[in-house]
């Protein structure tokens, strides 16, 4: 097969993407990566150099804010082979980078255009922002999909048949809540498992969405193990511990300057939270709620499941596992509605090429491309917790990484990078950060010259 000479625009975009993915690699290694990614392309080193910005020397203080930026918190991550990506997002594929602390990500399988809908996705683990909790408590919103009801006693709406406190749009949302997104799991229904009341009240008091996510992950696994499909429980286990990115929450928080002053209180709070989770989801025979928990288990068991093994107890119920799950939630939770399986593969850029949107139920994807992006959401037209992934950039070329922004793009470079370091464990070296750093350095040089 004869080689292909890429256009100037194709080469420029590819070079920019390679540099953003590999900020510290030299030109020769980047050229090698280009040949691996695009084996049919014919590109000389001289031509390639025209479009490659210099590599970042991570030991140099004139490009970094301080020497601490050398030390990265590397998230544990892997490929989840249970996801049928071609059915969810046909124009997207997973790539394992394993470079400079970056694990997996998503890349375009073909050219994409502005306004294009890549995929819709509903939460795998549903969580809700504390600002929505008053609506949920007043039964003005569906617990499963977070649809705001137009009136009290919405037609077709239904309450949990056990606790009568949780409301849903209809029977379908009720079923999803129990079987799919874990927003009202049997283990967290206080009329079925009375032990869950303490941890649920604690989460409400603390207004902690992250803790809500942790208990819903554990209860999702345990429900399948005890009452559901054992194969699904294994799939959940593999997804959490072998695939989704995670960093121990304590390691993340130790990066904060104020950690020495808050460490004691934070550890005590974590210990208390861990005990409440154990009491709700895996009490010991010595615990007061053990008998009522066993009664709950025996009343619903359909599997011939054995007692929790030591390995399972260590993996799901140890204090270290709690900190790992807390860190996983912090890395992967999307503000719209919780943990999304494919969305969690998307890496960060301060100049992203995708948007994550909550769109009204009546939104229709454009027939012609390129297209304008959907207008901003308002209180009147807020969507559900289903997210839509839409192309933001004019053109995304085949092989280019797909990115979103983890932080507010309106923040300054320094503010963005500090938030990313504290919340996600890495210093950002995207093209925008590099460009803004150079501009800041030029301004400082001008100020020095003016002072002299």
Each residue of 220-260: pLDDT tens digit? 999 999 998 899 999 999 999 999 999 999 998 988 889 99
Tell me if 147 sits within 8 A of 362, measured CB to CB: no
Q: Tell me the average pLDDT across 77-88.
A: 93
Q: How far apart are CA 337 and CA 251, in angstroms?
A: 26
Q: What is the pLDDT of residue 18?
A: 77
Residue 37 has pLDDT above 50, yes or no: yes
Centre a 10 Å sphere on the Cβ of residue 387 and count the other Cβ atoms it contains.
25
Three-state DSSP state, 399: coil
Helices (H), ranges, 50-112? 85-88
Q: Is residue 303's pLDDT more than 70? A: no
Percentage of the chain beyond pLDDT 90 is 65
**Do the beta carbons of residue 35 and residue 364 sit within 8 Å?**
no
Q: What is the mean pLDDT of residues 151-168?
A: 90
Per-residue burial over 299-320, b if 16 or more Cβ lie within 10 Å, else e, is: eeeeeeeeebeeebeebbbebe
User: What is the pLDDT at residue 35?
Assistant: 73
Distance (Å) of CA 438 to CA 13, 350, 375, 424, 451? 21, 15, 34, 24, 20
Q: Alpha carbon 273 to chain centroid distance? A: 22
Q: Is the pLDDT of residue 72 over 70?
A: no
pLDDT value of residue 58: 38
Least confident span in 89-93, 266-270, 297-301: 297-301
pTM: 0.84
The per-residue pLDDT for 162 is: 94
Q: Is the dihedral of CA 337, 343, 349, 355 positive or negative?
A: negative
């Amino acid at each position: 097969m004869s080689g292909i000479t890429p256009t100037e625009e194709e080469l420029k975009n590819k070079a920019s993407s390679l540099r953003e993915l590999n900020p510290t690699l030299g030109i020769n290694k980047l050229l090698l990566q280009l040949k691996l990614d695009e084996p049919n392309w014919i590109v000389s080193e001289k031509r390639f150099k025209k479009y490659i910005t210099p590599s970042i020397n991570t030991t140099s203080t004139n490009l970094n804010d301080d020497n601490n930026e050398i030390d990265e918190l590397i998230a544990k991550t892997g490929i989840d082979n249970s996801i049928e990506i071609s059915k969810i997002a046909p124009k997207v594929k997973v790539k394992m980078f394993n470079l400079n602390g970056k694990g997996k990500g998503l890349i375009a399988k073909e050219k994409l255009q502005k306004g294009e809908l890549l995929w819709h996705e509903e939460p795998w683990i549903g969580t809700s922002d504390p600002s929505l909790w008053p609506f949920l408590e007043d039964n003005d919103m569906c617990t499963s999909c977070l649809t705001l009801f137009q009136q009290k006693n919405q037609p077709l709406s239904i309450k949990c048949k056990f606790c009568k406190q949780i409301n849903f749009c209809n029977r379908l949302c009720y079923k999803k809540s129990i079987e799919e997104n874990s927003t009202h799991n049997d283990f967290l229904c206080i009329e079925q498992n009375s032990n869950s009341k303490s941890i649920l009240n604690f989460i409400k008091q603390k207004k902690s969405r992250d803790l809500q996510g942790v208990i819903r992950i554990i209860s999702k696994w345990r429900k399948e193990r005890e009452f559901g499909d054992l194969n699904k429980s294994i799939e959940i286990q593999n997804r959490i511990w072998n695939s989704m990115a995670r960093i121990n929450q304590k390691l993340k928080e130790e990066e904060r300057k104020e950690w020495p002053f808050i460490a004691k209180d934070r550890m005590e709070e974590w210990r208390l939270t861990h005990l409440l989770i154990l009491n709700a989801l895996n009490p010991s025979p010595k615990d007061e709620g053990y008998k009522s928990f066993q009664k709950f288990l025996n009343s619903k068991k359909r599997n011939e499941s054995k007692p929790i093994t030591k390995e399972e107890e260590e993996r799901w119920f140890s204090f270290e596992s709690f900190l790992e799950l807390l860190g996983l939630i912090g890395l992967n939770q999307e503000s719209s509605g919780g943990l999304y399986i494919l969305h969690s593969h998307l890496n960060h850029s301060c100049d992203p090429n995708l948007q994550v949107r909550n769109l009204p139920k009546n939104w229709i994807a454009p027939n012609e491309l390129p297209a304008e992006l959907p207008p901003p959401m308002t209180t009147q037209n807020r969507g559900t917790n289903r997210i839509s992934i839409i192309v933001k950039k004019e053109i995304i070329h085949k092989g280019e990484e797909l990115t979103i922004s983890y932080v507010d793009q309106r923040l300054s470079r320094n503010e963005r990078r500090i938030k990313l370091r504290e919340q996600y464990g890495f210093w950002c070296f995207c093209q925008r950060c590099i460009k803004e750093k150079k501009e800041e350095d030029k301004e400082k040089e001008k100020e020095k010259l003016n002072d002299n």
